[in-house]
A and B are shown apart, each in its own frame.
Chain A
Amino acid sequence: DGGITQSPKYLFRKEGQNVTLSCEQNLNHDAMYWYRQDPGQGLRLIYYSQIVNDFQKGDIAEGYSVSREKKESFPLTVTSAQKNPTAFYLCASSIRRGGVDEQFFGPGTRLTVL
């Protein structure tokens, strides 16, 4: 079955540590995204990538970094510079069908920084 996987589902880290969240897709989609979700805040875009070896900052990129070395993979690193990293992180990929860009989401990773 095609889809997007994120691991782990729950992640705990101590303050001051960098942590990398995994996102893999086997849908053959070119575009991939990272969102952050906080209660009552909706989704906020962190980074996105339209093609391998290229990515752009979203609305809240400060304190985060990404890489896109392979089409299937778009890992997100939450650095110690991110002031409030505890949140639910969602990865997505997209394809254009019938003139509409459809996003497919992974199950998310809940990061808690202690």
Chain B
Amino acid sequence: GEDVEQSLFLSVREGDSSVINCTYTDSSSTYLYWYKQEPGAGLQLLTYIFSNMDMKQDQRLTVLLNKKDKHLSLRIADTQTGDSAIYFCADASGGSYIPTFGRGTSLIVHP
């Protein structure tokens, strides 16, 4: 079945860039998402990328997609303490609009 994998933790210093990585197995993925979850809250859509794109930039966020390797990354420039959260990668294929979520990566930003 479909699978989305992420590392569980990432620790960075304030002001540095953060790169969160994700791999997926569904070759028919139509688009992929990044969601953010702050402590004790629901998920919030950060950005998404269509599978026919290589890169998408939105202010401090850069999404890179390597479709050949089925690898997705989210780069956060100038990471701030307010970026500390869990980041979920998810993919959706044309056959099902319901995304498959990874386990989430906890981003810890320290001074």
Chain A residues engaging chain B, CB cutoff 8 angstroms: 4, 31, 33, 40-43, 45, 48, 58, 90, 92, 94, 96, 99-108, 110
Given known contacts A42-B88, A43-B88, A100-B31, is B101 in contact with A105 (CB within 8 Å)? no
Report the tally of A-B residue pairs with Cβ distances under 8 A: 49
**By the criterion CB–CB under 8 Å, are A40 and B42 in contact?**
no
Chain B residues engaging chain A, CB cutoff 8 angstroms: 8, 31, 40-45, 48, 50, 88, 92, 97-99, 101-104
Given known contacts A40-B103, A43-B101, is B88 in contact with A105 (CB within 8 Å)? no
Alpha-carbon distance between A98 and B47 when the two chains are bound, in angstroms: 13
**By the criterion CB–CB under 8 Å, are A100 and B48 in contact?**
yes
Question: Distance in Å from the Cβ of B26 to the closest Cβ of chain A?
Answer: 15
**By the criterion CB–CB under 8 Å, are A108 and B41 in contact?**
yes
Given known contacts A90-B42, A105-B43, A108-B40, is B98 in contact with A45 (CB within 8 Å)? yes
Question: Distance in Å from the Cβ of A91 to the closest Cβ of chain B?
Answer: 8
**By the criterion CB–CB under 8 Å, are A48 and B98 in contact?**
yes
The A interface is mostly helix, strand or loop, or mixed, namely strand
**By the criterion CB–CB under 8 Å, are B103 and A42 in contact?**
yes
Contact of B45 (CB < 8 Å), options: A43, A90, A102: A102
* A110 to B, closest residue via Cβ: B40
A–B pairs, 29, beta carbons within 8 Å = A4-B42, A31-B97, A40-B103, A40-B104, A41-B103, A42-B88, A42-B102, A42-B103, A43-B43, A43-B88, A48-B98, A92-B42, A92-B43, A96-B97, A100-B31, A100-B50, A101-B92, A101-B97, A103-B43, A103-B45, A104-B45, A105-B42, A105-B43, A106-B42, A107-B40, A107-B41, A107-B42, A108-B40, A108-B42
Question: Distance in Å from the Cβ of B106 to the closest Cβ of chain A?
Answer: 9
Alpha-carbon distance between A28 and B92 when the two chains are bound, in angstroms: 22
Alpha-carbon distance between A108 and B88 when the two chains are bound, in angstroms: 16
Question: Distance in Å from the Cβ of A78 to the closest Cβ of chain B?
Answer: 18
